[in-house]
Structure 1
Amino acid sequence: MKLFEGFSQYRPQALGVLRIVTALQFIEHGTQKLFNFPVGEHAGALSGLPLAAGILEFAGGILLALGLLTRPVAFLLAGEMAIAYFMAHAPRDFFPVSNGGDAAISFCFIFLYLVFAGAGAFALDNRRNA
């Protein structure tokens, strides 16, 4: 539609906003696991996979929010979310809305998109490549 044709010029900024907002939400999952903030069911004495997930979510989320090493970090986090879905959510129920895995699927595919699309605007990667 001609109404939306002018929006294409803002594609890098929209991608940057998608990356930042997704990263900030992802950081929250890490802080909940690692620091019990915000208070939630996932906190506690962590070890093994939950500890690794918390570290990846917190550190990876910060790197993505900054737009630093976006493609490799997004690739790693997409894999983490795929593993999380099939290990923690899929065994509970077939349907993502019933097994609590809809966020994991969304994160996985947004991160996978970032692997191919890059960081967009507002990223430190843009300064490194300049």
Structure 2
Amino acid sequence: MFASFSRYQPQLLSLLRIMAGLLFVSHGTAKVLGFPAIEGLPAPGLSLGGLSGPFELVLGALLVLGLFTRPAAFLASGFCAVGYWAVHGMQSFMPIQNGGETIALYCFVWLYIAAAGPGAWAVDNMIGKKG
């Protein structure tokens, strides 16, 4: 039964990229646009927390579209790794203790997508077919 899922791998990779990208964008919109309003988020500015919003917004949007997917995913993965160690890793090594499960998971999802590519549904694929 599960072997039949293999034929849908490119589409499922796209779904993973799109859904993770939408969730990543929501972090950026909350920090940059104040939507949805979440108490305790860092204010926009020149701090690591303040700079994270625009990165999440722009890289997340690129990843949702599947545009410049591999470099965007690679940058997002590195951004998440730095964010994890700079913010969460200082509190405790274990993500379950320091509240860093989400950013750690994003780090490895983006790293996988940087290696695997965008999947079946991506602007990158349409650009490649024109050239």
TM-score by length of 1: 0.93
Aligned pairs for 1:68-107 (under 5 A) are 68-107=67-106
Deviations along 1:50-100, one digit per CA (max 9) or x if unpaired, are 232111100100000000000000000000000000000011112201101
Tell me, yes or no, if the aligned pair for 2:21 and 2:63 is still in contact at 8 Å.
yes
How many matched pairs? Answer: 128
Deviations along 1:17-41, one digit per CA (max 9) or x if unpaired, are 0000000000011111111211112
**Partner Cα distance (2:8, 2:126) in 1:** 19
Alignment CA distance shift 1:86-1:43 (3 Å): closer
Which blocks of at least 5 consecutive residues in structure 2 are unaligned?
A: none
Cα root mean square deviation, aligned:
1.1
Work out whether 1:124 is the aligned partner of 2:123: yes
Alignment CA distance shift 1:87-1:26 (3 Å): same
2:19 to 18, 21, 37: 21
Query: AA paired with 1:9?
Result: R
Task: Tell me which stretches of 4 or more aligned residues in structure 1 moved more than 4 Å.
Answer: none
**Partner Cα distance (1:14, 1:46) in 2:** 37
| 1:44 positional shift | 2.8
Identity %: 41
Query: AA paired with 1:50?
Result: G
| Counterpart position of 2:35 | 37
Tell me, yes or no, if the aligned pair for 2:42 and 2:49 is still in contact at 8 Å.
no
Q: Secondary structure at the match of 1:121?
A: coil
**Partner Cα distance (2:2, 2:48) in 1:** 44
Question: Which is further off, 49-58 or 68-77?
Answer: 49-58
| Counterpart position of 1:11 | 9
TM-score by length of 2: 0.93
Which blocks of at least 5 consecutive residues in structure 1 are unaligned?
A: none
